[in-house]
Amino acid sequence: MTPPPSLAVNGRLVSLADVPDPERLLDVLRWRLDLRGTKEGCRTGDCGACTVLVDGRPTLSCLTLAHELEGRSVETVEALADDPTGRAVQAAFRDAGALQCGYCTPGFVVALTGLLKELGRSVPEERLLADLAGNLCRCTGYLAIARAVRLARERAP
């Protein structure tokens, strides 16, 4: 018998047998798995609030269908407490005062964690800032976020 389609979320196997196709990864995470750290902003790929890691790469969960990810590995902001780079990035946002309402923060933290793990801490700061250009914040004015990026890059393991 063929096993039901599944994907891994934060290290746990999740069956997609009851998930209609198409259903967005964002909805599976928030409403089926109760992982509300992944935020729903625009739902059109324009704000970055819904960013998760798919096989380590920052990915917009509002534009990704769950069934497209069969056999793949998804990490959400909830998993970053167990990750040294994720912890360094979260602490950098805290120490730089890089959040106000916090709605955009999980997307920034997840994306920056993925970038630092993929590119290493020797990556130029400008490259990180350019790659984060798709993450929008309507509160902070970005200066504190840029400070957090610098701090995270310095502190990343």
Element (H, E) at 15: strand 12-15
Contact status, residue 63 vs residue 45, Cβ threshold 8 Å: yes
Contact status, residue 156 vs residue 85, Cβ threshold 8 Å: yes
Binding-site member from 42, 82, 120, 124 for ligand FES (CB under 6 A):
42
Residue 45 lies near ligand FES (rule: CB under 6 A): yes
- Rounded to a whole number of angstroms, the distance between the first and last alpha carbons of the chain is 44
Residue 102 lies near ligand FES (rule: CB under 6 A): yes
Interacting span for ligand FES (CB under 6 A) from 4-12, 82-90, 93-101, 122-130: 93-101
Contact status, residue 62 vs residue 21, Cβ threshold 8 Å: no
Interacting span for ligand FES (CB under 6 A) from 68-76, 85-93, 102-110, 111-119: 102-110
Interacting span for ligand FES (CB under 6 A) from 27-35, 40-48, 77-85, 109-117: 40-48
